[in-house]
Structures are given as structure tokens and as C-alpha cells.
Amino acid sequence: MNAKIVVLPGDGIGPEVTAEAVRVLEAVARRGGHALSFTERLMGGCSIDAHGTALTPEVLADCQAADAVLLGAVGGPKWDDPRARVRPEQGLLGLRKGLGVFANLRPVRVHPSLLDSSPLRPEKLRGVDIMVIRELTGGLYFGQPKGRDVKDGHARAVDTLEYQDFEVRRVVELAFRIAKGRKKKVTSVDKANVLESSRLWREIATGIGQANPDVALDHMLVDTAAMRLVTSPATLDVVVTENMFGDILTDEASVLAGSMGMLPSASIGEQGPGLYEPIHGSAPDIAGKGIANPVGTILSAALLLRHSLGLEPEAAAIERAVDRTITDGCRTADLGGTLSTRAMADEILRRLG
């Protein structure tokens, strides 16, 4: 296979972890006889410094023409003024919209060797294997109108939470397709007791559930879901929810795995390149120290092989190598260990079968 991958290292620890993921992808490609080409581009704060915008049209076009996009992280204190006209996160939102990746898949699996790394009691974590599917291109983050004005002498800020029926339908249908290959259970998370958009979401999810009787569907309010994630996470299988709820819940779910550095994500659409990134941020406090955990990015690279390139054996080989590495006691600082970013990746490369 020949494939073109655009790498957006981004800011903070992004360049450090993406470099290790590329090393792993190159190793897998060599062993499988595949030709993967990598092109680095600027996105995020580094792009603001260089071009005055978080995502240039040229970089977006390069990403759209690629087979997949691997992203590190964006943002940092340098660009953290909420009043700024241009912010790194605008690049991320523009990239998602420009690629048409409407679903963000975030697997949350607790490795048996890391049961003591989470603040939750080990007995609550055994058997946790959740797939959270977050709608990615609609909702509050993209709703119009938004902005600020003055009303009755008071400053007013407006954000609009909007969903159209097709936006809900396609992501919930994806959740059901994925659930059929797992435990056949979908939990749809909303706030239907308050929000009209959630009532539409629940109506559509209910209809899809009726059309798929082999998959169990339950509806859960987002506040209840937040509690369930920490009180009985092993009871959840596939969780599907809207953009902002998914953003918050998946960060909460990272606590289960012991570190945000462990968790990958895949953003996919109906066609075109997918976007793959760890769920953690740019971690400016440790940037440049060589101690960031590369596992989330390396597992994101495995998802890239699976979902964008159709290379399931190679994806599974990376995941097995990561599992063996963790089982053998290899740890970066976030997990209480001493291995550097490069050394952790070296250990994973040694175990690639």
C-alpha cells in the first residue's frame, strides 16, 4: 500500500509525541511492505506565529488531499488570551469542519497493569472497555449566531446550540454499527429534560434503536452519565453524545485509564481522510523535557492504520506491542515511571510482532 499522511505536530509536547508515532508507523510499514510518506505542516499556535492564522488554506488543502492526518496538540500560554481574535483552537475546529469528520471515536480501556494508577478503586475499573462517540462538527461550538453585545445596559454573550436531524442521525447510526461488533449496547447521552436540541437527539436515537432491535439502547442524562463514569464504568459499552457533552465526558473518562497520555482518538467522516490525535493537550509545563507519554499518540496511529488505511493486522500489532510494554512495567513519568518519551517508544518498537 502507498499512502500519504500529513503530520501536524502542533504546539507544546505535540512535536515530541508525533515524532515517536511516526517512528512506529515507519517500522510497521517496513515490516508490511507498505510505502507511507509523511509531510509535516504547521497548525495551531505555531501557525499563528508564522502566518497569522491557526490553519492556512494551503495546509487545509494538503490535509484534504492526504489519506490521513496525524495531529499532536495545539495551544499554550503564549496564545491563551480568550479575547484574542486568532486562537490555536480555531485551527482545530476549522480542520474538523474542512475534513468533514463528524464523529470522534475515543476508546477508553483500562489496562490491567494500571488499575492502581487511577484514583478510582481497582474493583470499579476491572473490565472497563468503553467506546465514546462524540459528534464533532455541530452543536454549541459551531452554532450561529454567537458573539457579544449590550442589552439593557448589560454586557451579553451569546452562543447557540443547534443540531439538524441528519447530523444526529449519522453519528447515532455509526454508534449502532460499532456496537454490533462489541457488546450490542448503546447509551445515548443528552439533556432532554431541558434542551430542545437534546429532545430532537433523543427522538432520532429512539427511532434508530427501534430499527436495530438487536442492539440495546438506553438514554441517559449527561449529569447521570458523568456520575456513572466514575461509579460503575464497566456497565457502559458504546456511548454516543453531542459535541460539548462528549468533550467533557471523555476528559473525565481519561481518569479511568490513569493518565490522559494513554488515550487515543480517531475523527472520521463518511469519506475522505480521517484525523487522529491523542486526547491530551499541549502540556506546555513539560514541553521540551522529553518526558511526555507517547502512548496515546502511538495508539492514535494504530487507529489511523485501521480506519483510514484498512490495515487491521498492523493496527493490532501496535496495540499488542503497547499492551506488552505496559504489562512489562515500562512507564513514563505520568504513570510513576522514569522512561523518557523516546525510551518508551523504543520499548514499544522492541515488542512489535
**What is the rounded distance in angstroms from the CA atom of residue 229 to the CA atom of residue 36?**
38
Sequence-ordered alpha helix ranges (H) in 82-221: 88-99, 122-125, 165-179, 196-211
Active-site residue 190, yes or no?
no
Active-site residue 191, yes or no?
yes
Q: Which of 62, 129, 251, 323 is catalytic?
A: 251
**Per-residue CA distances from 235 to 122, 125, 129, 255 (Å):** 15, 10, 9, 16
Active-site residue 141, yes or no?
yes
Pick from 139, 145, 109, 141: nearest CA to 127: 109
Q: CB under 8 Å to 211, separation ≥6 — which residues?
A: none
Per-residue exposure over 5-42, b if at least 16 CB sit within 10 Å of its own CB, e if not? bbbbbbbbbbbbbbbbbbbbbebbbeeeebebeeeebb
Residue 161 contacts residue 197 (beta carbons within 8 Å): yes
Q: Which of 163, 190, 191, 237 is catalytic?
A: 191
**What is the rounded distance in angstroms from the CA atom of residue 330 to the CA atom of residue 16?**
18
3-state secondary structure 37-86: EEEECCCCHHHHHHHCCCCCHHHHHHHHHCCEEEEEECCCHHHCCCCCCC
**What is the rounded distance in angstroms from the CA atom of residue 182 to the CA atom of residue 293?**
28
How many helices and strands (H and E) does the chain possess? 12, 12
Q: Which of 62, 129, 247, 323 is catalytic?
A: 247
Residue 307, all three cell numbers: 480506519
DSSP tag of 329 = T
Q: Is 166 helix (H, G, I), strand (E, B) or coil?
A: helix
Active-site residue 247, yes or no?
yes
Active-site residue 328, yes or no?
no
Q: Which of 223, 285, 289, 328 is catalytic?
A: 223
List the catalytic residues. 141, 191, 223, 247, 251
